[in-house]
């Protein structure tokens, strides 16, 4: 169902990677322009408010630095998301250690956006954000990867380190919770 690249369309990610390896730096530009917006959106959905561009850049630098480890059996985008997610979690853990802040553990319900509640809750967009941000972190990741990026459950499971079935359950539970938050 998802879009596939056809011969007359833009070059595939794998073709661009091969070109970059052969020395074509324009291929890297195309890859960055293709995936950077999604990575930036994913970073925001993971709660990254500042340094989004830095996170996206670090993701690409790390990915291109270890491009030999990329296996074509998964999409490049999925691989990039996996790298970015790990980066963000590492940065968050490091920041938490620095602040000696133990308020949010991985897997806990999201509370990191509470400070913004009063500011944005009155607007429609704000209510949606609030509804999503009240999900558990894993639910939120799965839900936004599905809605924002159109990823399959299999791809999502790869990114968040879960199973396809668990990703499906997380998505539907998240959707129900968001609906209830908005309309009930």
Partner 1 sequence: MFDCANVEMRELLPELVAGSLDASARARVDAHVIACSECASELETLRLVRGAFAAPAVDTRGIVAALPKPLTGPAAITSVAPMKRWVDWRLAAALTMITVGGLSVAIVQRRGTDATGVPIDSVAVAPAIPSGGRAVDSAGAVAGGGTRSDTGSEPAARRSMRPASPRAQLSFNGGVGELDDASIQALLGALDEIDRAPVAPSTEPDRSSVLPVIKDVDR
Q: How far is the CB of 157 from partner 1 (least distance, A)?
A: 15
Q: Which range, of 59-67, 78-86, 91-99, 109-117, touches partner 1 by CB under 8 A?
A: 59-67
The 3-state DSSP class for residue 160 equals helix
Q: How far is the CB of 100 from partner 1 (least distance, A)?
A: 29
Nearer of residues 50 and 102 to partner 1, judged by Cβ: 50
Residues 174 and 134: their CA atoms lie apart, in Å, by: 10
Of 134-173, binders to partner 1 (CB under 8 A) are 143-144, 146-151, 171
- Identify the residue whose tokens are 């490049």: 76
Residues 111 and 95: their CA atoms lie apart, in Å, by: 16
CB 123 within 8 A of CB 140: no
Of 18-37, binders to partner 1 (CB under 8 A) are 20-23, 25, 28-29, 32-33, 36-37
- How many C-beta atoms surround the C-beta of residue 140 within 10 A? 23
Dihedral sign for Cα 149, 143, 147, 73, please. Answer: positive
Residues 182 and 111: their CA atoms lie apart, in Å, by: 18
Of 81-140, binders to partner 1 (CB under 8 A) are 124-126, 128-129, 132
Contacting positions for partner 1 (CB under 8 A): 1-4, 20-23, 25, 28-29, 32-33, 36-38, 40-41, 44-45, 52-53, 56-57, 60-61, 64-65, 124-126, 128-129, 132, 143-144, 146-151, 171, 175, 178-180, 182-184
């Amino acid at each position: 169902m998802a879009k596939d690249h056809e011969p007359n369309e833009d070059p595939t990610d794998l073709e661009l990677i091969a070109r970059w390896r052969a020395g074509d730096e324009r291929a890297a530009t195309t890859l960055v322009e293709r995936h950077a917006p999604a990575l930036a959106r994913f970073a925001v959905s993971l709660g990254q408010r500042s340094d989004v561009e830095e996170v996206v850049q670090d993701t690409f630098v790390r990915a291109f630095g270890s491009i030999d480890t990329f296996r074509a059996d998964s999409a490049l985008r999925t691989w990039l998301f996996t790298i970015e997610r790990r980066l963000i979690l590492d940065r968050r853990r490091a920041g938490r250690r620095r602040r000696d802040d133990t308020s949010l553990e991985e897997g806990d319900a999201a509370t990191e956006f509470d400070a913004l509640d009063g500011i944005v809750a009155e607007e429609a967009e704000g209510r949606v954000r609030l509804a999503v941000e009240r999900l558990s972190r894993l639910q939120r990741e799965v839900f936004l990867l599905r809605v924002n990026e159109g990823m399959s459950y299999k791809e999502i499971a790869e990114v968040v380190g879960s199973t396809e079935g668990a990703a499906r359950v997380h998505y539907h539970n998240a959707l129900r919770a968001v609906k209830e938050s908005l309309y009930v």
